[in-house]
Amino acid sequence: MVSSNTRRCKEPKLTIGLDLGDRTSHYCILDEAGSVILEHSLPTTPKGILQVSSGIPRSRIALETGTHSPWVSRQLTQLGHEVIVAHARNVRLIGESSRKDDQLDTRTLARLARIDPGWLGPVRHRSAKAQIHLTVIRARAAPVSARTALVNAARGLTKSYGERLKKCGTGQMNREIAKALSQELRDALEPLLREVESLNERIDEYDRRIEQIAKEVYPEVALLQQVKGVGTLIALTYVLTLDDPHRFRRSRDAGCFLGLRPGRRNSGMSEPQMHISKEGDRYLRTLMVQGAHYILGPFGQDCDLRRWGLKLAERGGKNAKKRAVVAVARKLAVLLHKLWVSGEVYEPLRNRHQVVSAVA
């Protein structure tokens, strides 16, 4: 199959659309004139990708973002191909088509890549090293989520019995806290709380590993941790997700990259107020919002960012506090990028110092 197909593909300037599936992927090859010269499928494995792509001359290959797109794009790039990873949300011509199937998807990807790759909203995947370290962080998120669900279940079950568990954080939940409950309720909840304790141990293991990775591999994390409210988890996730700080022309673009800017749908004289785009990495965006909550909360350090956020929240309105949190999260993303690129020492009240100098 491979040898006969590749003989037909010995044409210059080929454009290929690749629709990645979990087990099987489909591809469509266009010649220089835009005509389909070959359509076929291949296993979604490194060996399958190698067998087909290695026999094709250097081509432009377009594929959508997805579970397999990071390793596939790296492998194709190493083989010398020009790889375009299309943002799946931007290729609405595929996702919202009334005649959606693998063959049409690959043809559409190939034709868009041939005419103007900009229509695909190209994205750049992080390096293999950053991805494996980010996997440690994402793996930690799984037991954290499971722990939260178990703790909520335990609290709900005690309430339905007319009792309550002592108030504490999920990390402090254990069988000792259940001692104030009735004996029959303690017996019912003991296996569940034992599982929570086990999850706490696993999460602590991940936390130690994350600290080690940050200290030994990513010294730039310390620059970001100058901002109180930004711990190792937030700082390292930020560094690994962005991967290369110089990918942005200016620091303000970092907030847009994380989907923290308001969407835009202007038309004529109409300029409606939109929600944030949420186009970036969801997990990092969640962490940035958590950091913003801390900055605006009772334990937040007095700084320009906190003062600006509190002033924004004081404007009133139904969602003033929520908007202030998102706005602070966006400014925090910009600030962290600025510290990363410049290597500057963070000044929490820099604006106040500037005002005092101007008055003097």
Query: What is the structure's pLDDT at 93?
Result: 54
pLDDT tens string 226-266: 999 999 999 999 999 999 999 899 999 998 888 887 655 55
pLDDT < 70 positions in the chain: 1-12, 89-100, 262-277, 352-360
Query: What is the structure's pLDDT at 214?
Result: 97
**CB-based contacts of 141: which residues, under 8 Å, 6+ apart?**
283
pLDDT tens string 295-352: 999 999 999 999 999 999 988 777 888 889 999 999 999 999 999 999 999 999 987 6
For residues 197 and 151, what is the distance between their CA atoms, to the nearest angstrom?
10
Q: Token pair for residue 322?
A: 């929520």
For residues 70 and 125, what is the distance between their CA atoms, to the nearest angstrom?
6
Mean residue pLDDT across the chain: 87
Query: What is the structure's pLDDT at 267?
Result: 52
CA 170-175-177 angle, 5° bins: 70
CB 109 within 8 A of CB 29: no
How far from 310 is each of 118, 281, 305, 324, 329, CA to CA, in Å?
40, 26, 9, 7, 13
**Sheet of 82-86, strands arranged across:** 36-43, 24-30, 15-19, 60-64, 82-86, 122-123
For residues 111 and 118, what is the distance between their CA atoms, to the nearest angstrom?
12
DSSP state letters, 243-263: --GGGSSSTHHHHHHTT-SBP
